[in-house]
Every structure is written in structure tokens, then in C-alpha cells.
Structure 1
Amino acid sequence: MSTATKTRRGRKTYAIALSLILCGCNAPSFTNSGVTWKTYTNSRYGFEFLYPSTWTSLPPPENNDGIAFVSPQNTRVEIRGWAGNRLPDTIITDKNAKKTINPNFKTNQGVSGVLEVEVGSQESSMTLTLTKAQVKYYWQGRSPASEFSNYYRVFYYIAQEYRISGQGG
């Protein structure tokens, strides 16, 4: 593949990602769309998120740090949430090795975090990362790249509704 082709493909992927992000800024409310929602609550870390009631949960990990749900139409479409204790900064010896991204998203609860959208050739995802006290919270929606535009607004809505209910840990 030529460099020009790679550059065009990279620009196309960037353009698709940008258009998806901009569409998500005006994501409609799904409360009146006929979707019935359930709430997953994690008692270990004190977080919760909505998921469509028709989706099936995968077996949770033994440590109870989160869960994943899959779509009944396509098991390659999933949403998952998990959390983990964050290492104190004093333990991290190489401060330059730490990747920092400024918050670019706020949940409806008012918690700031980072929302990243990755558009790949095979799979695409939306990942929300929040930090409160010494706990790092994650939520992710992912699907085959060819279907990501069908799920983007649902993923965005769920990320907006993500809640931290306690200190966790």
C-alpha cells in the first residue's frame, strides 16, 4: 500500500470519527424511544450504568470488579463497566511515563472524565474513564466498525448516565 493511500485512509478514518463525535454532541434522550432500560449496580466499587433490558450479561469476573452485556442481535456488540483501585502518585516512580489526558466529558451526575472514541477497520469503541478518590472507573461500548454508527448514540447516552454512587474499593 502506498503512503498516499495510507494517508487518505487515515484521513477518512479521522473524518468518520470526527463526524461521529459531533453527532454524539446532540445525542437524543433515549428515555422515550421505546427502549426499556435496566441498571447494573456494582456493590464493590459503587458505580452503576444503564443497559438495554434485552441485552444478556456475560459471566462476571470472580473479583466482582465489573460486568459485560451483549446485544441479542449481535454478540460482537457489547457494553461493559469495571473499576479498579488506582495506585497513589507517590508509588509511581517515573512521572514522565504517565499518560495524562485532560477531561473532555462530564456525566449528567457532574463527574468529569475522558471519553475516547476509537474507529478501527474491524472494531470501534467508545471508552469513558473517570477517577474519584483512589478508584478508576471505566465504561466501554464496542461493536464491529461497520455497525458502530448504529450504536454510537446509545453508547453516548449510557456514558452520560453513568453514575458513581459511593467511594468504592
Structure 2
Amino acid sequence: MSTATLPAYSLGRKIYHHTYRLGKAIALIIMLWGCTAPGFNASNVVWKTYTNNRYRFEFPYPSNWNALPPPDNGDGIAFVSPQKNSVIIRSWAGNRLPEAVSPEAKVTVNPNFKTAQGIPGVMVVEVGQQGSSMTLTITQGQVKYYWQGRSDSQDFTDYYRLFYYIAQQYKVL
């Protein structure tokens, strides 16, 4: 390598590293800005309430969302956004097996979420390359309740606050 090409190589490398750092800084600023954006305003939405009579739970959903055909066993429901059919909210429940029958090891998960009703649960947010979801799991006695909001990953920030609000309003009757 000649001394004439060394400065050009160093300059190109410096530009690359500065551009890379700047890109990371911009990504961090965008993520932090999303965390501080104004909150979701539930009063701007017309709501309906889904009530499950078999497992005795309910949650609100936007009135213009379309219900998918429910399963025959009556364990839950799913609603699809009228703007994007890849945006879905769903909820279902099921009876847990008694511990004596269940062969898997007992796993204890500490609640990290509480509904407006005061019921503790576990909230898991998964962000993937294609799809992202927010899932709330509540265990009451022998029943396990699930609520989930799901969208394409590029739309998840647009629906995060809506999903979170609905999860907060989830009730066990």
C-alpha cells in the first residue's frame, strides 16, 4: 500500500465509523421519542365490549373492528382492524390441568402488570422482524386467561398504546 492511498483509506474509514455512530444515535433518539410521545386518548374511540360467558371475562374493543368467526368451543374471540387485516386483537381462556396431572416442572413467573380491575398478570411484548405482539396472561384458580394484540412489526408502534389500553381494561367477571 502506498502512502498516497493511506490517507484516503483512513478518511473513508473515519466517515464510515461516524456515519455508523450517527445512525445508531438517530435510532436511539427515535426509540426514545416514541416512549415520550403523547399518550393514547381512549375518549377518541367508540368502544364496544366483548363478554365471554363460558369463562367470564370481558374487554373493550373499537366498535368498527370486525369479529372473526369464534371457535366452536366458545373459549374466545378475535377482532380485525378495518384498516389492516394484519392487526388483530384476540382473547381466549382455558382450564389449567391440575398440578398432579401436569408432567412439566412447575414454573413461577412474577406478575409484571396489573389491570385497572387490580388483577395481576404477566405482560410479554415480542418484537420480531415481521410480526410483533403484546400478550397478557392472567391465572385465576384453575383458569388461564389470555389477551393479545398483534400487528406487522412496522405498524406495532402505531398500535402499542391501543393494545396497552385494552389490556389494562381486561376484566375477569
* Cα deviation, residue 140, structure 1: 0.2
Between the aligned partners of 1:157 and 1:129, the Cα distance in structure 2 is 15
Q: State the partner residue of 1:138.
A: 146
| Partner residue in 2 for 1:9 | none
Q: Larger RCO: Structure 1 or Structure 2 (Cα < 8 Å, ≥ 6 residues apart)?
A: 1
Aligned ranges 1:34-53 → 2 under 5 Å: 34-53=44-63
Please point out which of 37, 41, 60 is paired with 2:70: 60
Counterpart residue number, 1:8: none
What runs of 5+ residues in structure 1 fail to find an aligned partner? 1-11
> Does residue 100 in structure 1 map to residue 108 in structure 2?
yes
Deviations 1:7-45 (A, max 9, x none): xxxxx9xx98xx59x939x9846332x210100000000
User: 1:94 Cα deviation (Å)?
Assistant: 3.8
- Equivalenced residues, count: 145
SS in 1 for 2:162: helix
Q: CA RMSD in A?
A: 2.3
CA contact (8 A) 1:66 1:81 kept: yes
Instruction: Give 1:30's match in structure 2, choosing from 25, 41, 44.
Output: 41
Show structure 2 runs of 5+ residues with no match.
1-23
Name the one with the larger helix percent.
2
1:153-164 equivalences under 5 Å are: 153-164=161-172
2: distance between equivalents of 1:44 and 1:141?
Answer: 21
Q: Which one-letter code corresponds to 1:73 in the other structure? A: Q
Q: Secondary structure at the match of 1:155?
A: helix
Letter in 2 for 1:23: C
Measure, in 2, the Cα distance between the counterparts of 1:27 and 1:39.
25
**TM-score when normalising by structure 1:** 0.79
Offset at residue 101 of structure 1 (A): 2.2
Match of 2:155 among 143, 147, 153: 147
Partner Cα separation in structure 2 for residue 69 and residue 145 of structure 1? 18
Contact kept? 1:27, 1:156, Cα under 8 Å: no
Q: TM-score, normalised by structure 2?
A: 0.77
Q: Give the whole-Å Cα distance in 2 for the aligned partners of 1:28 and 1:164.
A: 25
Deviations 1:112-151 (A, max 9, x none): 0100000000000000000101000000000000000000
Identity of aligned residues (%): 61
